[in-house]
Amino acid sequence: MIAAWRTGTARRIAAALGELLLPRACVACARLLDHGDRGLVCGRCWVRVHELPYPRCARCGHPLTREHCSWCALLPPYVRAARSVCWIPGHTAGAIVHALKYAGWRGVAEPMAARMARLPWPEDVLAERAAFVPVPLAATRLRERGYNQSALLARALSARCHVPVRESCLVRTRRTATQTRLTPEDRRHNVSGAFAVPVSERPTIRGAHLVLVDDVITTGATLGECAATLFDAGARIISIVTFGRAPAIGDAG
């Protein structure tokens, strides 16, 4: 018992010295983490994330600003539902996504997925969803980045929701230009035909309800192309979940 006490004390002292000599900073705001913060993002930053306001559309999860939801028009009929946590871009939420996607902070995926896992879904989606499918990266971009942020989110969601991940059922056939500065029409053209379902994977998704996972949805071009590819390969229906969502014209931030 004394030995265990000494070991525990030594670990606490080592941890305290580590924080003194190498203080940890929030990967979103770069301020020193408070003593109670255990993650990579500080509690103040999580509070500043602007979640999508209510009321929300029962199908697409978009905030309703009028009697009829205009955002649903972006989704094809075989997309059952879509859900997102917060608005993107946004100073804090955007910084969190940037930390995961471009700064190499893989550990940010877990708390992001924790918030994605708490999103409310229609009962049939919860009952039917067969797998999480991350939006794939091109091979060259995967080598450059070292990981696929959407796959990290899908794995963390899988652990929380007890739904398997199928990373191999959707592949990117070519590298596409970054979507950031493209118009909605250019975005659709950019990703057209950029995804495929390998022949060997088609039996595993036939008739299934699959949930696409990505970090952000903007115009829906990439996720729409992914959904169309899965549907054409035999999936029965698709749902979509992302951490961030870009506001449409007329949305209140």
What are the beta bridge partners of residue 212? 133, 240
Residue 128: the pLDDT is 97
Residue 14: the pLDDT is 42
Element (H, E) at 150: helix 149-161
Residue 182: the pLDDT is 53
Q: Describe the crossing of helices 221-232 and 184-191 by its angle, rounded to 10 degrees.
A: 40
- C-alpha 134/C-alpha 166 separation (Å) is 8
Contact (Cβ atoms closer than 8 angstroms) between residue 50 and residue 244? no
Digit-coded pLDDT (tens) for 151-200: 999 999 999 999 999 999 999 987 665 655 555 555 565 666 679 999 99
Pick out the chain residues at pLDDT < 50: 4-5, 10, 13-21
**CA–centroid distance for 57 within its chain:** 20
Residue spans per domain, the chain: 1-48, 53-245
Residue 4: the pLDDT is 47
- C-alpha 151/C-alpha 178 separation (Å) is 19
- C-alpha 253/C-alpha 250 separation (Å) is 9
Tally of CB atoms within 10 A around 124: 13
Residue 186: the pLDDT is 56
Q: Report the CATH fold assignment for 53-245.
A: Rossmann fold (3.40.50)
The DSSP 8-state label assigned to residue 67 in this structure reads S
Residue 235: the pLDDT is 98
Encoding tokens for residue 152?
A: 């990290």
Length of the chain: 253
Contact (Cβ atoms closer than 8 angstroms) between residue 150 and residue 135? yes
- C-alpha 221/C-alpha 212 separation (Å) is 13
CA distances (Å), origin 250, targets 44, 58, 93, 187:
28, 19, 20, 21
- C-alpha 27/C-alpha 95 separation (Å) is 8
